[in-house]
Chains A and B, each alone.
Chain A
Amino acid sequence: MKTLEKRIRECNEEGKKAFVPYMMAGDGGLGTLKDKLLFLQEAGVTAIEIGIPFSDPVADGEAIQQAGARALAEGVTLRNVLEELERCKGEVAVPLVVMTYLNPVLAYGVPQFVEACQRAGINGLIIPDFPLEESGPLRNELRGTDIAWIPLVSLTSPDERIARIAESAEGFLYAVTVNGITGTRNDFGEDIYSHLQRVKRISAVPVLAGFGISTPVQVKEMGDNTDGVIVGSAIVEAFHRDELDKIRELAGTSSGKIEIVN
């Protein structure tokens, strides 16, 4: 079992849900990356998803698009993020997951990219535009590494497809909670919880819910129906506005440190 899955299971065994914040690498400058990672680690998160900016982020909503545009303006690339992470290696102990679109990986070269991830101590990989039918060659490269392949399942994936995707999953299975792009939502479909429970029944690896989750209440409710949650846009915006207490509050909800009063 790869480190990422082990950590999530340990977290669950302590009676807590995994909490994985997403941050945009280099939003505010690549020099701020380490401090942000250490801050999140301090806040008690289970793992950290590090987004790589891309020129054409089709799966992302406004908040992450804008954060990506700011990072691109700072000259942030997949290559220099991995180099920076390699430098942080000794101090950051929490598992790191890289989320990138496919084309920068292809431009890097798949074997070279996987090697760079290993040097940087990356524990998981999410590539949203790399579905089951296409991702085989990269999954082969990840064999024998401690880098988990984290695929996404959506509300539109039929059960037999969810089963096949879950079989390819390592670390955790990423259950997308909305039909749409990333970004905060007030409402989710009414059958979202039964969907998440079904995904959980099908999957042998832990299931984490993500897309649109932004408030402590949502973190709690989504967490109740899965093994944990991923919070993206709300974290990205909080970092951008320097509202660190918001991030602490979200992280605290999931670990059970903060009681939610409905």
Chain B
Amino acid sequence: MAVEMRKGRYGKFGGQYVPETLMSALIELENAYGEAKADPKFKEELDYYLRDFVGRENPLYFAERLTEKVGGAKIFLKREDLNHTGAHKINNSLGQALLAIRMGKRKIVAETGAGQHGVATATACALFGLECVVFMGKEDIRRQELNVFRMELLGAKVVSVDKGSGTLKDAVNEALRYWVANVEDTHYILGSALGPHPFPEIVRDFQRVIGVETRRQIVEKEGRLPDAVVACIGGGSNAIGMFHPFVEDEGVALYGVEAAGSGVETGLHAAAIADGKEGVLHGAYMYILQDEDGFIQEAHSISAGLDYPAVGPEHCHLHDIGRVKYEAVTDAGALEGLQLLSRTEGIIPALESAHAIQFAVELAKGMGKDQIVVVCLSGRGDKDMQTVRDVLGGGVE
């Protein structure tokens, strides 16, 4: 039987489950994106900003001391933390801001969890002179106070969301409500590979630069493709950007690392592939943490950026077909990875990326010295210093 190919579907995942008021905006966005993709000037302009403003391409760095310490496969780090604003989020924010301008929309709304997407979007809006409103959960504002100040300094208006758990999910709800009310002159810059079609595709395409550069760089350095590629997953934007150019390379194992919080068995986690069920949230059919009545459950993770109860639709499909293996690392594991990388390489990773680091270390241990593991170091850890200090203690004696 022929499978009905519906728009914006990854296997059975994805789709467009939104209020009717947004349908026209999604169709407009889909058309505008189609035209932009076909326009060489759009790519030229985006490439210019990625190079001269973001600082791409960023290095693929051989983590020699970490490799030695682990004693297994060679570990390489894709340094998205070196981007302007400190994470991979800027790749997507810039692309979508240029798209908004093409559509004649000069007002932007965004959600943010850790604040990295909010900062990246506020930055893109400052760069292009766009109005910017960012919704952020109250709990995340507490965890990421400095990022709130950064956004405000960049001219954005930050709105606190105290509903639900006051985290990323609730911020997306409010951003969607705001977009419905302001859809005629406002573009929603969704920050992860989530939401209704065409967002998962747009975000993936703007983040693909991570994997495209990595593929070229590893071949330049090592003369071959890596044996494994590892990235952390909240909604999954850095991971899908990293994985996508490798999906057809059968010899490259792909690992997505979810946040296991206090442990998947405790129920206090954000591991939607490990422990979620299929359903619809924020416009897409995905794996979601939910109870038996279909109410969405709160996610739990030390890292605000992974604190989301679902995983983007393309990841759900890659899981179903077995192309990507999804694993989970706890809060404690992430803290371990963060400290290890800090001390062996002088790089303090974001708590999100630390999940990937920790898993990659365990993976590399069991691999041969001639093998290669690449980790997406999606962001830097400065924003997390307060959280990490609260847990680890410390300070000057």
Known: A58-B173, A105-B294. A179 touches B184 (CB 8 A): yes
List the B side residues contacting A129 at CB < 8 Å.
17-19, 280, 283
Contact between chains at A134 and B15 (CB < 8 Å): yes
**How many residue pairs at the A-B interface have CB separations less than 8 Å?**
119
Known: A129-B283, A157-B24. A107 touches B290 (CB 8 A): yes
List the A side residues contacting B340 at CB < 8 Å.
none
Stretch of B86-94, B174-182, B322-330, B367-375 at the chain-chain interface: B174-182
Is B220's beta carbon under 8 Å from chain A? no
Which residues from 135 to 163 on chain A have a C-beta closer than 8 Å to any C-beta of chain B?
Answer: 151-158, 161
Most chain-A CB neighbours within 10 Å: which of B19, B20, B21? Answer: B20
List the A side residues contacting B292 at CB < 8 Å.
107
Is B183's beta carbon under 8 Å from chain A? yes
Is A188's beta carbon under 8 Å from chain B? no
Which residues from 77 to 94 on chain A have a C-beta closer than 8 Å to any C-beta of chain B?
Answer: 77-79
Interface band, chain B:
35 or more
A53's closest neighbor in chain B, by CB?
B295
| Complex Cα–Cα for A56 and B20 (A) | 17
B295 to chain A minimum Cβ distance, whole angstroms, is 4
Contact between chains at A156 and B24 (CB < 8 Å): yes
| Complex Cα–Cα for A102 and B16 (A) | 12
B23's closest neighbor in chain A, by CB?
A131
List the B side residues contacting A108 at CB < 8 Å.
293-294
List the B side residues contacting A103 at CB < 8 Å.
279-281, 288, 290, 294-296
B8's closest neighbor in chain A, by CB?
A133
Is B169's beta carbon under 8 Å from chain A? yes
B294's closest neighbor in chain A, by CB?
A107
List the A side residues contacting B24 at CB < 8 Å.
154, 156-158, 161
A58's closest neighbor in chain B, by CB?
B176
| Complex Cα–Cα for A54 and B296 (A) | 8
B181's closest neighbor in chain A, by CB?
A180
Taken residue by residue from 253 to 294, chain B's Cβ proximity to chain A (1 for < 8 Å, 0 otherwise) reads as 000000000000000000000000111111100001010111
Which residues from 179 to 197 on chain A have a C-beta closer than 8 Å to any C-beta of chain B?
Answer: 179-181
List the B side residues contacting A133 at CB < 8 Å.
6-7, 15-16, 23
Nearest 9 Cβ contacts at the A-B interface: A107-B294, A104-B294, A180-B181, A154-B21, A77-B293, A55-B295, A156-B24, A103-B294, A154-B20
Can you pick out 13 interface pairs between chain A and chain B where the beta carbons lie within 8 Å of each other? A55-B296, A59-B177, A102-B17, A102-B280, A103-B294, A103-B295, A104-B295, A105-B294, A131-B16, A151-B20, A154-B24, A156-B24, A161-B24
